[in-house]
């Protein structure tokens, strides 16, 4: 903290305080999250680890930038770009709701941020006005990734108590241990309605009340949801009151939202998660047709979709042309993203891979030569990284056992090539700087997606 001058307190929470600071070396204004002592608090440590790992992965204009992370005297500090206010403060300044065009631009920026998350199979799980920062130029920045979770992580069961109650989807309220990206889309629908008239759409006082308010406007729970409700010990012996005067979205927002906006919200607030608009579908919705920045983004999105289709088609053709796909399977298992700071392991990996592929095609008359050569290669690899080798290719496969320290903050880059990077919580040893990280990525040939 020596290189930062504290200018004031931005906000306080249960786990610590957010400070407005100035970098003495660059005069840059930043926001620093200063956590309380975290050595004995596993919940806080896990939240910090998630936030750091996710924000290192997600680089986007509409996602707050993590500049630095460090630890001093048992406390953890996260240094972010400074953004002037959050959406809750904007709402408090306009208690009757915001202008329709401002709402549309805000929601579109949020969708772009969430699209970046979902492209990496990450759900935010805590979308609410407080977690949406707004700059003086009206640029939205999604923040607070302490509850973010990778859907490709090894642990299958997901926590149900995550999002703030008012923005929580039915499957979260019912304690589903398996849910998907639809929980973020539900929260966006709730948020849009709140921005319209300044009032939360479903301001439930508890889970039971929250479910009642949802059904009062959107209709009953689905059969599977009703079954889950009846079996949940949390709701044992409880029944919902009769809904005598249901209120539809059209009735509540008749004079406040245009028809396209209401249709958009209805697409987000489906009781059945699989029926909700995906983030990609939401970005292409008619609601945004008259937004100039949306039209430009649509062209980029269509180009990306077309490129994905070509890649899938090319992959199918390659598979069809290669009936014996042994080599492809081996390549999938052994193509790791190896960090530069592991030295010559990348070259050794390529050597081991090429060597073993060649061996599969040789005849039985060269068996003795193969065994001698295999022993030589295995010995070389054992010297490089002992105890971690795959019996098929003579190279590391259980990479989670390798402990990487230093400025990369336990960087998990040994994920299988072209697979989404999972967010696996490891021991907290934070020394992270965005400039250092980006520089090392560029040297390694990695491209950061904006």
* Confidence at residue 413, expressed as pLDDT on a 0 to 100 scale: 34
Q: Is the per-residue pLDDT at 403 higher than 90?
A: no
Asked whether residue 316 is assigned to any structural domain, the reply reads no
Domain boundary among 51, 81, 111: 81
Percentage of the chain beyond pLDDT 90 is 49
Residue 297's Cβ-side half-sphere holds a number of Cα atoms within 13 Å equal to 21
The separation between the first and the last C-alpha atoms of the chain, rounded to the nearest angstrom, is 29
How high does pLDDT run on average in the chain? 76
Please give the residue that has the higher pLDDT: either 37 or 110.
Answer: 110
For 447, phi and psi rounded to 5 degrees?
-115, 125
**Residue 28, domain extent:** 4-81
Are both 229 and 97 inside the same structural domain? yes
* Confidence at residue 3, expressed as pLDDT on a 0 to 100 scale: 92
- Do 133 and 143 touch, CB atoms closer than 8 A? yes
- Do 170 and 250 touch, CB atoms closer than 8 A? no
| CA 386 to mean position of chain CA atoms | 34
63 has which bridge partners?
142
What 433-441 contacts at long range (C-beta under 8 Å, 24+ apart), as own/partner pairs, is 433/67, 433/68, 433/407, 434/56, 434/65, 434/66, 434/67, 434/68, 435/67, 436/407, 437/56, 437/407, 437/408, 440/339, 440/340, 440/341, 440/407, 440/408
Q: Which residues of 350-387 are buried (b: 16+ CB within 10 A; e: fewer)?
A: ebbbebbeeeeeeeeeeeeebeeeeeebeeebeebbee
- Do 20 and 7 touch, CB atoms closer than 8 A? yes
Cα Rg for the chain, rounded, in angstroms?
Answer: 26
* Confidence at residue 22, expressed as pLDDT on a 0 to 100 scale: 96
Q: Is the per-residue pLDDT at 449 higher than 80?
A: no
Asked whether residue 383 is assigned to any structural domain, the reply reads yes
5 has which bridge partners?
22
Q: Is 377 annotated as a binding residue?
A: no
Supply the pTM of this predicted model.
0.69
Residue 47: CATH number of its domain? 3.30.200.20
Total of domains in the chain: 3
Q: Which helix (H) or strand (E) holds 45?
A: helix 42-57
Q: Is the per-residue pLDDT at 213 higher than 70?
A: yes
**CA-CA-CA-CA torsion sign (126, 129, 135, 140):** positive
For residue 77, the SS3 value is strand
Domain boundary among 81, 109, 143: 81
pLDDT in tens, 259-318: 999 999 999 999 999 999 999 999 999 999 999 988 888 888 888 888 888 888 787 666
Are both 229 and 242 inside the same structural domain? yes
Give dist(CA 350, CA 395) in Å, integer. 10
pLDDT in tens, 85-101: 999 999 999 999 999 99
* Confidence at residue 443, expressed as pLDDT on a 0 to 100 scale: 47
Domain boundary among 290, 317, 349: 290
pLDDT in tens, 225-249: 999 999 988 898 899 999 888 899 9
Helix axes 345-360, 326-334, angle to 10 degrees: 160
23 has which bridge partners?
4
CB atoms within 10 A of CB 86: 22
Asked whether residue 262 is assigned to any structural domain, the reply reads yes
Please give the residue that has the higher pLDDT: either 128 or 50.
Answer: 128
Are both 93 and 9 inside the same structural domain? no
Give dist(CA 298, CA 239) in Å, integer. 46
The residues carrying an active-site annotation are 126
């Amino acid at each position: 903290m020596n290189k930062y001058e504290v200018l004031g307190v931005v906000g306080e929470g249960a786990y610590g305080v957010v400070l407005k600071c100035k970098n003495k070396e660059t005069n840059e204004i930043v926001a620093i999250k200063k956590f309380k002592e975290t050595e004995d608090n596993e919940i806080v440590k896990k939240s910090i680890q998630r936030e750091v790992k996710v924000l290192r992965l997600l680089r986007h204009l509409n996602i707050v930038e993590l500049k630095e992370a460090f630890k001093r005297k048992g406390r953890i500090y996260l240094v972010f770009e400074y953004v002037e206010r959050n959406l809750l403060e904007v709402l408090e300044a306009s208690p009757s709701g915001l202008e329709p065009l401002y709402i549309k631009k805000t929601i579109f920026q949020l969708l772009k941020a969430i699209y970046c998350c979902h492209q990496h199979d990450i759900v935010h799980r805590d979308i609410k006005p407080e977690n949406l920062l707004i700059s003086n130029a009206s640029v939205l920045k999604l923040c607070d990734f302490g509850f973010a979770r990778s859907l490709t992580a090894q642990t299958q069961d997901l926590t149900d108590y995550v999002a703030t109650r008012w923005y929580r989807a039915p499957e979260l309220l019912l304690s589903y241990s398996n849910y998907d990206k639809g929980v973020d889309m539900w929260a966006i629908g709730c948020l849009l309605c709140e921005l319209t008239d300044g009032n939360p759409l479903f301001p439930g006082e508890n889970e039971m009340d929250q479910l009642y308010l949802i059904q009062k406007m959107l209709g009953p729970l689905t059969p599977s949801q009703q079954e889950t409700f009846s079996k949940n010990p949390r709701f044992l012996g409880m029944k919902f009151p009769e809904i005598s005067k249901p209120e539809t979205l059209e009735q509540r927002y008749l004079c406040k939202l245009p028809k396209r906006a209401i249709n958009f919200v209805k697409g987000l607030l489906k009781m059945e998660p699989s029926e909700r608009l995906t983030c990609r579908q939401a970005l292409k919705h008619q609601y945004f047709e008259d937004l100039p920045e949306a039209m430009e983004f649509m062209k980029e999105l269509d180009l990306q979709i077309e490129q994905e289709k070509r890649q899938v088609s090319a992959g199918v053709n390659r598979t069809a042309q290669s009936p014996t796909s042994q080599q492809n399977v081996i390549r999938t298992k052994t193509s790791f993203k190896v960090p530069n700071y592991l030295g010559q392991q990348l070259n050794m990996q390529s050597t081991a891979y090429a060597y073993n592929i060649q061996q599969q095609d040789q005849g039985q008359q060269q068996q003795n030569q193969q065994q001698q050569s295999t022993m030589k290669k295995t010995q070389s690899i054992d010297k490089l990284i002992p105890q971690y080798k795959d019996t098929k290719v003579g190279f590391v496969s259980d990479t989670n056992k390798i402990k990487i320290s230093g400025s990369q903050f336990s960087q998990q880059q040994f994920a299988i090539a072209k697979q989404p990077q999972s967010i696996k919580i490891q021991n907290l040893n934070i020394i992270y700087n965005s400039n250092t990280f980006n520089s090392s990525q560029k040297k390694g040939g990695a491209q950061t997606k904006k």
